[in-house]
Structure 1
Amino acid sequence: MSAGPLAGIRILEVGHILAGPYATMLLADLGAEVTKLEPPGGDLSRQVSDAYFASLNRGKRSIRLDLTTEEGRARLGELAADAHALVVNLKPSAIHAFGLTYEALRRYNEKIVCVALTGFGLNAGDDPAFDYVIQAATGVAALTGDPDGPPTLPGYSAADNSTGMTAALALLAQIVSGRGGQLDVSLRDVMLSQLNYRASAYLNDGVEPRRLPNGAHSYYVPAQLFPTADGHLALFVTHDGFWKKFSTEAGVTGFATMAERASRREEVLDVVTKALAADTAENWERRLKRLGVPAAKVRSLPEALERTPDMVVQAGDFRLVASPIRVAGYEPEYGPPPRLGEHGDFTGTA
């Protein structure tokens, strides 16, 4: 097995909970050496549960560092001198106060890449910006749920995870450039970016996004969740070839073109719903998969994990979801999450 593609890259991390730690964990999985610089009480995610902390911090190192002291800030400079990058996930005022910017650290290392993950931007103030707040503020919650019900939220931290991935990409791009510098990645901007085609439809054609029943797509028909004889099925027909195969299998006639299906949405949904009621979601998935038609039974997370054992790995005492990035000839080690201050303690405490 070869070394990871990021072997030799040294990354410092300062922050709590999710977005920043998720970004650096993805990089650690690819072979980077990631060192968490934790305050005396540690990353707040340690207070959630050991399993939660492990899900974001496997394979990292931990140095306890009190940035409110001169000793702590001096040690930060020493560590920055030997690092390729620093990822910070704090409110803007704390990032500036603790000297966690490129402007403050460049005297130690001209080539260090400093990535700030904030709610609204490094220079946008300290308004609270948690995942659910950002989803509400950017239109994600308004787009989610049935039209007759209240807005709702996905069952996971979509904004934090998406921002973490974006920050990891930004960091690597700047390292490849060979230049140091300050990168600014905000949860708000990332989520607006992820609404790309919805925003484009509004900005260019004046089409305001709206919720449709059962999570239906705004144009493709049928492309949504359907009840079956047992369970629900996600069916996603995006072109006429898929429709021809599905309709033949389901015994449905007519509606040959996407334009016709879009203009006669309710009629199409009615006949498809009746057809799917004749069999179970499990069987429909099997039947349609054989034909190459996009469809899947709605499963719980435990069911999904049982069907994908290759995506469950051991990291110390914890079973976790593997990295989504597969590199030929490289297998991540998935080390355990670090104990607080395991690799150094500069807090002036015992």
Structure 2
Amino acid sequence: MTANEACADEPAAGPLTGVRILSTAVNVPGPVAVARLVALGAEAVKVEPPDGDPLEAASPAWYEELSAGQQVVRLDLKDPAGRDRLEQLLAAADALITSSRARALERLGLGWEALHARHPGLCHVAVVGHPAPADDLPGHDLTYQAALGLLGSGAPGDEPRMPVVLLADLAGAERAVTEALAALLARGTTGTGSRCEVALSDAAETMAAPLRHGLTVPGGALGGGHPAYRLYAARHGHVAVACLEPHFLTRLLELLEVTDDAGDLVERLAGVFGTRTASEWEAWGREHDLPLAEVRRGERLGHLRH
């Protein structure tokens, strides 16, 4: 067994104070879900493989953020001693979060029937790629988004692009939190634990609903078809204008002295927004209580943290 245990500061008291979470999930969805449960007051032990969580190498700062307030234990679960230590941790846990495929869990003795027989009060949230019976089908955030048409604007001739948000992973994490809370609540009534699956492909499909229903397709109501809900080129950069509600739109047009009569309103607004920089328009929007924001690039995102 290889063990590297580190305890961070105790989590703040919250509605989940006294609840103990055990997680074997690495990468993004599981750790994000556990971090949220810890923020609600739960105690958490995270079991990592001997080489650690791949997220630590890919994004050390985010890994530290997601691991804060948790006990991190590195175990070789192929070794009997590692499995014995895991069994001790399971005995003390209220909920288990996993992100391994079903056959991998079976090999570790974490299949639901065996797990429930040994720990009848334990709730298990299994984060998987696809719902059963396809839960052994491999996938990642990129493939889930690709399958749902989320890797481009959808305009003819547009090349697909890599996602800037891990939409399936983060949506799946929030769903895992909900399922964990529901399972713990039900256990308070029944006295026994339960198992639920959170399929990342299903979470991504839910997030794709605006596209599927035509709202965010090119030219859709939220896809650039509304003159006051779209992106405009500024003198420097771009500004996002989201004056969708009538009172916002009316005030925007009045302040800009633009009339909403016959003709191309988009063209008239474009002419006005081209007179100032995007950052100036954002400040102007705040001054006048209007939803405008500069479209920031990667190098300008640092100041948004916390």
Select the residue among 92, 95, 98 that pairs with 1:82: 92
The reply to whether residue 280 of structure 1 matches residue 277 of structure 2 is yes
1:56 Cα offset (Å): 2.7
Residue pair 1:102, 1:112 contacting (<8 A) in 2 also: no
Question: 3-state SS of the aligned residue for 2:97?
Answer: strand
1:69 Cα offset (Å): 3.3
Q: Which residue of 1 aligns with 2:31?
A: 21
Give the alignment's TM-score, normalised by structure 2: 0.84
The reply to whether residue 140 of structure 1 matches residue 150 of structure 2 is yes
Q: Which residue of 2 aligns with 1:306?
A: 303
Q: Which residue of 2 aligns with 1:238?
A: 244
Question: 3-state SS of the aligned residue for 1:110?
Answer: coil
Alpha-carbon RMSD: 2.7
Q: Which residue of 2 aligns with 1:343?
A: none
User: Residues 190-201 of structure 1 correspond to what in structure 2 (within 5 A)?
Assistant: 190-199=203-212, 201=213
1:108 Cα offset (Å): 2.7
Q: Which residue of 2 aligns with 1:217?
A: 223
User: Residues 1-350 of structure 1 correspond to what in structure 2 (within 5 A)?
Assistant: 3-48=13-58, 50-142=60-152, 144=153, 147-178=156-187, 179-199=192-212, 201=213, 210-212=217-219, 217=223, 220-255=226-261, 267-300=264-297, 303-306=300-303, 311=306
1:49 Cα offset (Å): 5.1
1:10-57 CA-to-partner distances (Å, cap 9, x unmatched) read 111112211111111121222211111122222222333533431332
The number of aligned residues is 292
Q: Distance in 2 between matches of 1:289 and 1:147?
A: 36
Residue pair 1:115, 1:184 contacting (<8 A) in 2 also: yes
1:219 Cα offset (Å): 5.2
Q: Which runs of 5+ in 2 are unaligned?
A: 1-10
1:79 Cα offset (Å): 1.9
1:304 Cα offset (Å): 4.4
1:169-211 CA-to-partner distances (Å, cap 9, x unmatched) read 2111211222411110011000111123443x3xxxxx59633
Q: Distance in 2 between matches of 1:149 and 1:99?
A: 47
Residue pair 1:18, 1:56 contacting (<8 A) in 2 also: no
Residue pair 1:113, 1:180 contacting (<8 A) in 2 also: yes
Deviates more, 1:6-15 or 1:122-131: 122-131
Question: Closer, same or farther in 2 for the Cα pair 1:284/1:209, shift >3 Å?
Answer: closer
Question: Closer, same or farther in 2 for the Cα pair 1:216/1:85, shift >3 Å?
Answer: same
Structure showing greater relative contact order (alpha-carbon pairs closer than 8 Å, 6 or more residues apart): 1
Residue pair 2:224, 2:231 contacting (<8 A) in 1 also: no
Q: Distance in 2 between matches of 1:12 and 1:122?
A: 23
Question: 3-state SS of the aligned residue for 2:239?
Answer: strand
Question: Closer, same or farther in 2 for the Cα pair 1:280/1:40, shift >3 Å?
Answer: closer
Q: Distance in 2 between matches of 1:127 and 1:174?
A: 25
Question: 3-state SS of the aligned residue for 1:141?
Answer: coil
Residue pair 2:48, 2:73 contacting (<8 A) in 1 also: yes
Q: Distance in 2 between matches of 1:273 and 1:190?
A: 36
Q: Distance in 1 between matches of 2:12 and 2:86?
A: 32
Give the alignment's TM-score, normalised by structure 1: 0.75
